Amino acid sequence: MKIKKSVIFAICWLLLTVVAQIPQINAEADNFPTLHNGLKIKHELEGGRISVNTFYNTDYAEGQWEITDNKNVGVYLFVEKQPPNTTILVEHVHIDCLICSNRSEINGIKQDEMDDKMHVGYQAGFYVSPEYPYSNIFAIEGYTEWLLNIWGYMWGEFGWMSGTEKRLTEDTLKYYGAKGNEFMVVFDLLIKHRGEENYHTVSFMDDFIVYFNGGFEENPGSISETKTITVYPWRDWSWIGWLGSILLIVGIFVYGIFVYFAGDDVNSDSVKLLGGILVVIGIILIIAGLICYFACNLIEVPKVPS
């Protein structure tokens, strides 16, 4: 009786675990003000004595953004206002391109980065003024070494991974809650006013998110076209069905063949019990394996225009 109760409990626990752990997915889309058209951010420095505008744009297709695509982002700094005889140098620019997600597993993973500074000569930085803006191009790789290594450590061991549904793809990132890319840009300026002998430093940062719609707002009031993708999050565990098949065959063999030869032996009851337990466990594992193989989620994700 105790064995039967334990088997029933194991079946219930297994089914509840498989069903309860299938992740819930959020999806978003849309098309409005986009990075393709440009993002301008104004900065007032030193109490408003100096005013600069940073500007970002991309040659990526209008209304689209994919994390795993190679992309170019233009980075600019325009000096709008400065005191007479003031010298401004861009000493260093650092940019991090991160994955933005509503799930902590992948939120904040660094995809790519860029550093820009003077590499030759005696000048401390890039000279900027109302006539001479700073400009650069941040070439983002879709599959960088950082991203591949971190993804591998998340789902496998020692930097490599296995499994169909955990391969690093655009749809897998969306399945795990990815919304787009977050950009964190730090400018370090060197400033020297009239009469000053040395430069002093002023730093500021821009932080913005580009969503899958290519814009800066997630789902801004309308619903765009979406497509439905099917994911199988538990298919990696379907091998337990094969294990169940083996146990089922062994159980039938033990229950049937051994008991036939044992006849009325006093140990035949214990052999029957052992065979019966193996059969029950085998059936449980086969059912669990089938659930793992066929369990799927239908997810709505943005449809990329052709």
Average pLDDT of every residue of the chain? 78
| Percent residues over pLDDT 70 in the chain | 73
| Percent residues over pLDDT 90 in the chain | 38
Residue 264 binned pLDDT confidence (cut-offs 50, 70, 90): low
> Mean pLDDT throughout 248-273?
70
The DSSP result for 23-68, as a single string, is: PP-------SSBTTT-EEEEEEEGGGTEEEEEEEEE-SPTT---TT
Query: Which pLDDT tens digit goes with each residue over 82-127?
Result: 999 999 999 999 999 999 988 887 889 899 999 999 887 788 999 9
Give me the CATH code for the 39-223 domain, please: 2.60.40.1470
Does residue 296 have a pLDDT over 80?
Answer: no
Q: Which residue has the higher pLDDT, 151 or 138?
A: 138
**What is the pTM assigned to this prediction?**
0.60
Q: Which residue has the higher pLDDT, 207 or 34?
A: 207
The pLDDT of residue 19: 34
The pLDDT of residue 99: 92
Every domain of the chain and the residues it spans: 2-23+232-302, 39-223
> Mean pLDDT throughout 217-236?
59
Token pair 């707002």: residue: 217
- How many other C-beta atoms are found inside a 10 Å radius of the C-beta of residue 132? 12
Residue 165 binned pLDDT confidence (cut-offs 50, 70, 90): very low
For residue 120, give every residue at least 6 positions away whose Cβ sits within 8 Å of its Cβ, in sequence order, or none. none
Cβ contact 136:75 at 8 Å? yes
Token pair 């994911």: residue: 231
